[in-house]
Amino acid sequence: MSSLTYFEAQKWASSFVSEHKIDKSVVDLLLLGMKDWNLTDLLVNYQQQMPQAELTKFKEMLNKVCQGWPPQYLLGEASFFGREFKVTEDTLIPRQETEELVEWVLQDFKNDKTDLKIADIGTGTGIIGISLKIERPSWDVTLTDISQAALSVAEINAQRYGLKIKNSCSDLFSSLKEKYNVIVSNPPYIAETEKSLMDQSVIEHEPHMALFAPAEGLFIYRRIAAEINAYLENEAVLYLEIGFQQGKAVKQIFQQEFPDADVILKSDITGHDRMVKVVFNNKQ
């Protein structure tokens, strides 16, 4: 056993990360993640001695966080939409903005009992498609990603929740043979020129393939607009996450390609344009 209780380890760790200008919230994230505890579990065990092996691992992870490692990669898991998902350095770490994208889809189809066909393009960890499938079990969901490594992580996450979901290693739509009622995507949209605005830990550890796109971050949106028509059922809907400065540009891309479609921008909780919905009223 170590000479520290869980309370003492938490207190020491909070001081340690503060010295390195790291937010104290990472302490509980690591401690609870290591133990698969919630906060109540931690409080109940506050005065218990922390095993030496656990303390050693805890300190190693804290050191790595202070060196720039995202704690989610150290734990191998991240929270999204109230659930835990496997993450690796082959996948992006889920973010709150993407939860709002999922909520938008669910809100739009909350009273719809039709068995819809959904495609999650560039799925990464699978969080969007899997979350939709859990909330709407009757939906037929397909996950695609150009990275087989990322798709393997998505498959593990689907299995974790006992879901039957189709998977396809695909460059956008290239491997798909069906048409869909809903297509949703959080594609790469960061311009190379924006690197200076990003956290160093993201640049050093998260997959660049899933982050950056040419043409000031608009390249994938242009490809989606050019290629999506063959994969749309009648009156299909497309949902996209976008960069907070890309709203007007992305809206223009789809309005030009689909003059009869309704293109709607939606802000996130901070008031920034972060989502686009395209309703294909008269599919071309």
Average pLDDT over residues 232-256: 96
122 is in an annotated binding site: yes
Q: Confirm or deny that 189 is annotated as ligand binding.
A: yes
Q: What angle do CA 201, 156, 232 make, to 5 degrees?
A: 90
Q: Confirm or deny that 167 is annotated as ligand binding.
A: no
pLDDT for 112 equals 64
124 is in an annotated binding site: yes
How far is 215 from 220, CA to CA, in rounded Å?
9
Side chain identity at residue 201, one-letter code: S
Residue ranges of alpha helices (H) inside the chain are 6-19, 25-35, 39-44, 52-66, 71-75, 96-108, 127-135, 148-160, 200-205, 219-227, 247-257
How much is the pTM? 0.93
What is the rounded average pLDDT of the residues 98-111? 94
Task: Examine the pLDDT at 283 and tell me if it is beyond 70.
Answer: no
Mean pLDDT to the nearest integer, 93-113: 91
Q: pLDDT class for 115, splitting at 50, 70, 90? A: confident
In the structure encoding, which two tokens stand for residue 120, read together?
A: 């999650």
259 known ligand binder: no
**188 marked among binding-site residues:** yes
145 appears as a binding residue in the annotation: yes
Mean pLDDT over all residues of the chain?
Answer: 94
